Amino acid sequence: MSSPASRRPARPTTVTLKHVAERAGVSAITVSRVVNTPDLVSDVLRAKVTAAIQDLGYVPNRVAGALASAESRAVLVIVPSLSNAVFIEVIQGIQDVLEVAGYQMLLGNTQYDLEREQDLVAALLGWSPAGVILAGLRHTERTRALLKSSNRPIMEIMEHGARPIDMNVGLSHYKAGESMGEHLVSRGYREIGFIGGRLNADYRAMHRFKGLERCLARHDLRRRPPFTHECKSSAQVGAEALMRTLDAAPELDALFFANDDLAVGALLRAQREGIPVPGRIAIAGFNGFGIGELVQPSLTTIVSPRQRMGQVAATMLVARIRREAEGRHRVDIGFSLRVGEST
Question: Is residue 59 close enough to count as binding its own copies by CB under 8 A?
Answer: yes
For DNA, the closer CB: 26 or 283:
26
Q: Which does 320 bind (CB under 5 to 8 A by kind): its own copies, DNA, none?
A: none
3-state secondary structure the chain: CCCCCCCCCCCCCCCCHHHHHHHHCCCHHHHHHHHHCHHHCCHHHHHHHHHHHHHHCCCCCHHHHHHHHCCCCEEEEEECCCCCHHHHHHHHHHHHHHHHHCCEEEEEECCCCHHHHHHHHHHHHCCCCCEEEEECCCCCHHHHHHHHHCCCCEEEEEECCCCCCCEEEEECHHHHHHHHHHHHHHCCCCCEEEEEECCCCCHHHHHHHHHHHHHHHHCCCCCCCCEEECCCCCHHHHHHHHHHHHHHCCCCCEEEECCHHHHHHHHHHHHHHCCCCCCCCEEECCECCCHHHHCCCCCEEEECCHHHHHHHHHHHHHHHHCCCCCCCCEEECCCEEECCCCC
d(CA 134, CA 123): 14
Question: Is residue 291 close enough to count as binding its own copies by CB under 8 A?
Answer: yes
For DNA, the closer CB: 14 or 149:
14
State the number of binding residues for its own copies (CB under 8 A): 53
- In the list 36, 276, 293, 339, the residue contacting its own copies (rule: CB under 8 A) is 293
For DNA, the closer CB: 25 or 188:
25
Q: Which does 271 bind (CB under 5 to 8 A by kind): its own copies, DNA, none?
A: its own copies
Question: Is residue 274 close enough to count as binding its own copies by CB under 8 A?
Answer: no
Q: How far is the CB of 207 from its own copies (least distance, A)?
A: 26
Q: How far is the CB of 75 from DNA (least distance, A)?
A: 17
- In the list 134, 158, 167, 264, the residue contacting its own copies (rule: CB under 8 A) is 264
Instruction: Name beta bridge partners: 199.
Output: none
Helix axes 17-24, 28-36, angle to 10 degrees: 110
For DNA, the closer CB: 17 or 266:
17
Question: Is residue 54 close enough to count as binding its own copies by CB under 8 A?
Answer: no
Q: Which does 150 bind (CB under 5 to 8 A by kind): its own copies, DNA, none?
A: its own copies
Residue type, 56: L
Quick check: 208 and 174 in contact, CB under 8 A?
Answer: yes
Residues at the interface with DNA (CB under 7 A): 2, 4, 7-11, 14, 16-18, 26-30, 32-33, 35-36, 40-42, 44-46, 58, 60-61, 64-65, 67-71
Question: Is residue 104 close enough to count as binding its own copies by CB under 8 A?
Answer: yes
Q: How many angstroms from the chain centroid is the CA of residue 38?
A: 33
Q: How far is the CB of 88 from its own copies (least distance, A)?
A: 6
Residue of 175, 170, 141 whose CA lies nearest to 157: 170
User: Considering only 44-52, 121-129, 162-170, 245-253, which stretch makes contact with its own copies by CB under 8 A?
Assistant: 121-129
Instruction: Name beta bridge partners: 156.
Output: 134, 168
Q: How far is the CB of 104 from its own copies (least distance, A)?
A: 6
Site string for its own copies, 64-103 (x = CB under 8 A): x-xx--x-x---------xx-x--x--xx--x---x----
Q: How far is the CB of 62 from DNA (least distance, A)?
A: 8
For DNA, the closer CB: 102 or 327:
102
List contacts with its own copies (CB under 8 A): 8, 10-12, 59-64, 66-67, 70, 72, 82-83, 85, 88, 91-92, 95, 99, 104-107, 109, 122-128, 149-151, 234-236, 239, 264-265, 268-269, 271-272, 290-291, 293-296
